[in-house]
Amino acid sequence: MNDCIFCKIIEGSIPSNKVYEDEHVLAFMDVAPVSKGHTLLIPKQHVKDLFEMPEEVARNLYAAAPKIANAIKKAFNPQGMNTLNNNGSFAGQTVFHYHLHFIPRYDETDGFQMKWEVKQNEFTPDKLKSIAEEIKDNLNK
């Protein structure tokens, strides 16, 4: 894709700090890291987001994920790590070439926060059952 910044990073026409590369994927440092070691893993094939990702691309991408996570862990000894991927502007995606963030976690002030508002009262067991059915009905559609 001509105007895609991550495709340009893959080609090498935009510089990046690469940490891992194979036939299918590239991992490099996020230019605006949240914490020390914040790394992005991308498929070399231009795929906009998870919704458009072929299974084969997903297999190859996630096959490399433990290697990246463990290298960051060994390098900086974080207390934990969040991996996350934003799909769509509303979900916070700003670069429309799929990427998986690896954000090492050090302490409460490391810059990463997640608000997780549980609504167990709203989603009763019956509702969960019917929601699961709706999703199942849409598999392979």
Q: By CB under 6 A, is residue 98 in contact with ligand 5GP?
A: no
- Tokens 């994927």 map to which residue? 25
Residues 81 and 105: beta-carbon distance below 8 Å: yes
Pairing between β-strand 39-43 and β-strand 25-29 as defined by DSSP bridges = antiparallel
- Please count the helices (runs of H) and the strands (runs of E) in the chain: 3, 5
> Least separation, in Å, of the C-beta of 45 and ligand 5GP?
17
24 in active site: no
CA distance 35 to 19: 16
Could you say which of Zn ion, ligand 5GP, none residue 91 binds, taking C-beta under 5 to 8 angstroms by partner kind? none
Contacts with Zn ion, 44-83, as mask; x by CB under 5 A: --x-------------------------------------
Q: Which of residues 12-41 bind ligand 5GP (CB under 6 A)?
A: 14, 16, 28-32
Which residues are catalytically annotated? 99
